[in-house]
Structure 1
């Protein structure tokens, strides 16, 4: 979906090497092969600035999360991602960083909600579709992606070539109405 609204989107881009720069946190990833999950070339958050995103999916029912609220678990996971990559990306790569934290059931952390909201707005504007229908369509896609990931963990791999969906001619409103997704 990000490729629809931004140019030069790449997966697992390598971060710039550290040349004497110091990062704030001891837990920061300082290896020369450090990678994040997604890079958007320019203009997602700020015009002309690259944006990096790193994804974490966690199970809120795990013992380490059961004694804290769901909101606190999201914030804890976001803070860990920011400690690992945020300072390095801001100060060495001079880019923005957004941790995308999800639960296995589709819940989103605060920064992921902001990211998805911005992505939906940009997609709706570009495709001349109602924002509410684009959001419903995106949430449905996210739910199926998480479901596929969970099934893969349970069943193991059954490799098939990845399929891509051509979003150029997609009418989000018709798709949402036809599938019966509530807006």
Structure 2
């Protein structure tokens, strides 16, 4: 679960990235996965750990999510709460630590160079979600429910179920599968969330 070789770090979050991008396409414009950030032109970053590479990328971007017309950037991290570096701190502190790591890497650059907003989407391998990720998906569910004219509770239930299965598949792949993960297409256009939740027996 903590192996950094063979592509496991990327494999563990690719499905969550694709699912998030698919949901954003339902309510936002100009959604892209792994967008390249604008190159630096002598700008000074606040933190020494900031990513200053010319080809730096984040996981997902969408225009008009938080603020009309502004581009929102999101980067996903899935960490193992049982890893050695997290054993001596609480789960809440581990979430905050991982969120701050992402903010130090990208927040200043995105705010001052790309003139966008940055949200770290932090999960645990067992399905937990960081505070900023909860806020993000809560907002996303509300906008999707409003656009589709469906109950927000059913959209939230469907979203939580899909995210949980994505994290579970990623964890099983890292533990038991091969390093090759075939690409999956996630099409939710025209999906009736209420009917799906009711037919699947998902608790609201």
CA–CA distance in structure 2, aligned partners of residues 91 and 165 of structure 1: 33
Of stretches 152-161 and 9-18 in structure 1, the one that deviates more from structure 2 is 152-161
TM-score, normalising length: structure 2:
0.85
User: Tell me, which stretches of 5 or more residues in structure 2 are unaligned?
Assistant: 1-22
CA–CA distance in structure 2, aligned partners of residues 16 and 165 of structure 1: 28
User: Tell me, which stretches of 5 or more residues in structure 1 are unaligned?
Assistant: none
CA–CA distance in structure 2, aligned partners of residues 151 and 45 of structure 1: 33
CA–CA distance in structure 2, aligned partners of residues 63 and 51 of structure 1: 33
CA–CA distance in structure 1, aligned partners of residues 64 and 87 of structure 2: 38
The number of residues matched between the two structures is 182
CA–CA distance in structure 1, aligned partners of residues 168 and 161 of structure 2: 11
RMSD: 1.3
CA–CA distance in structure 1, aligned partners of residues 32 and 80 of structure 2: 27
CA–CA distance in structure 2, aligned partners of residues 159 and 37 of structure 1: 19
Report the CA distance between 1:159 and its aligned residue. 4.9
CA–CA distance in structure 2, aligned partners of residues 160 and 178 of structure 1: 29
Pick aligned residue for 1:112 from 130, 133, 151: 133
- Residue aligned with 2:46, SS: coil
Q: List structure 1 runs of 4+ shifted beyond 4 angstroms.
A: 158-161
Of stretches 47-56 and 61-70 in structure 1, the one that deviates more from structure 2 is 61-70
CA–CA distance in structure 2, aligned partners of residues 161 and 124 of structure 1: 31
**Higher RCO, 1 vs 2 (CA within 8 Å, ≥6 residues apart):** 2
Report the CA distance between 1:44 and its aligned residue. 0.1
TM-score, normalising length: structure 1:
0.95
CA–CA distance in structure 1, aligned partners of residues 80 and 72 of structure 2: 26
CA–CA distance in structure 2, aligned partners of residues 161 and 152 of structure 1: 11
Report the CA distance between 1:161 and its aligned residue. 4.7
CA–CA distance in structure 2, aligned partners of residues 59 and 159 of structure 1: 21
Report the CA distance between 1:158 and its aligned residue. 7.2
CA–CA distance in structure 1, aligned partners of residues 108 and 95 of structure 2: 19
